[in-house]
Amino acid sequence: MREYFIAAEEVTWNFAPSGRDLLYNRPIPPLYSKTVYPKLHYVEYTDKTFSVPRPQPEWLGILGPIIRAEVGDTVIVHFLNRSKRLLSIHPHGLKYTKENEGAVYSVATGHAAPGVKRGGETTYTWFADETSGPGKDQPSSIMWPYHSHIDESQEVNEGLIGAIIVTAKGMAKPDGSPRDVDQEFVALFMMFDQDFGKETGMMHSINGYIFGNLPGLNIELGSKVRWHVFAMGNERDIHTAHWHGVKTFAPAEHQDVVAVFPATTKTVDMKADNPGSWMFHCHVADHMEGGMMAYFNILGPRPPCPLNFGPGEFWKDPHNVQFTVSNPSNKLIKQINFNTNVFIKPNYLTTTYLLWKSDGPLAAGATATYKFPIAMHDSSAIVGWVVYISSIEYEDGTVWRPKDINQCAHVYWHDGNTQQPRVLPPVQTSHEED
């Protein structure tokens, strides 16, 4: 048995938190510049108190939590409605009785359970039978959508949509994910209609993000990756998902484009054998123009940084950035050269054009604190400073330089978070918004 606690909640959703087209280093086109709207969202909790949200991967975006099952499993979903509307959860692919269908309509036989009112709870019991899992020529796991089904088209458009992944019998890890792949991603291609069919309100999104703002699609070099791609929406939601840099494969075919239609799914595998940051987008022309694109990173092992960053801050003194660096080597450092960028918004990393140099030698095993002036027009708008080591000059005449921009970088976040990103987003070189 697999048990889930899921609530429908009202949220404010931003389809482009950076306010930028991150793939092309430019402002979002004026036609799509309004990106913040009220939405509904399926949120998973740890237990029946519905008090502690269960963390989800950031790339899921607007999607609800992944519901997993192995063929033969019973799935129990406890549903709490925290919105103002009558709602439900209806699964595709799993077996259920009429009372557990999660859809309300009139039929001659059977009785559907009513929708869940505001503040109400219900429990659904579903079963992953043999036909819920992969067929003979399919991969070891396949995906089905789930969504609210009281006023289905409107509720999906408001954000009540998620994925069910069913793994073949005997192929599942304890958490239900397949044993024969290293990573799985789910990608929803959908145009969310925010303005009654007008193009200004059409959010051409992947998982609820537009113009490269979908975060977290990070893949380790050499891993086997499974992509579950699907679409929802209207007749305009005919999509051709395309990966740059690598190909996907399914039994008897290799491809780098797969087509999906509303409520259809496609599962393909990928060998992540080509390092780099690669575009992932719909290949329908006007969908590309509307921003239905993201990027994914295939990341090799990061070479070590010869220096260690210590504590730092920039928010107490609006005129200076201060941080510490230690030298773990057995060689004296004559000079360290730094450059910097800043986060203005989530995923919006922009250049400062500042170049800094250390003001003295750093002995082997020693730690130094550096303070450099800030030359920004509005330092209060900065949510994080990124400090890069661009080169190290040693006393013996040798010079070290990083192999890539991420090798020796450290982010000092304004909120005190010490977590470091696996890879930094593309650097935006302009503050222009029009």
pLDDT score at 434? 40
Take residue 145 and report the two structure tokens written for it: 């959508």
pLDDT score at 46? 98
Domains, the chain, with CATH or none:
2-299 (2.60.40.420), 308-428 (2.60.40)
- Measured over the CA atoms of residue 417, residue 419, residue 421 and residue 427, the dihedral's sign is positive
User: Which segments of 232-366 are extended strands (E)?
Assistant: 239-243, 248-250, 253-255, 257-260, 265-271, 276-282, 293-299, 308-313, 320-326, 333-345, 348-357
According to DSSP, the β-strands at 161-167 and 67-70 are: parallel
DSSP 3-22: EEEEEEEEEEEES-TTSEET
pLDDT score at 309? 97
pLDDT score at 380? 76
Tell me the mean pLDDT per 10 residues along the chain, length 434: 98 96 95 97 98 98 98 98 97 96 79 88 98 96 98 97 98 98 98 96 98 97 98 97 96 92 97 97 98 97 95 90 96 96 90 91 97 78 94 97 93 92 88 46
- Torsional class of 17: left (φ above 0), alpha (ψ -120 to 50), beta (otherwise): alpha
pLDDT score at 142? 98
pLDDT score at 316? 87
DSSP state of 100: G
The number of CA neighbours under 13 Å toward the Cβ of 208 is 27
Whole-structure pTM value: 0.94
User: What's the rounded Cα separation, in Å, for the pair 224 and 106?
Assistant: 46
pLDDT score at 433? 45
Q: Where are the alpha helices (DSSP H) in 40-181?
A: 152-157
According to DSSP, the β-strands at 74-81 and 2-14 are: parallel
Q: Whose CA is closest to 324, among 267, 362, 354?
A: 362
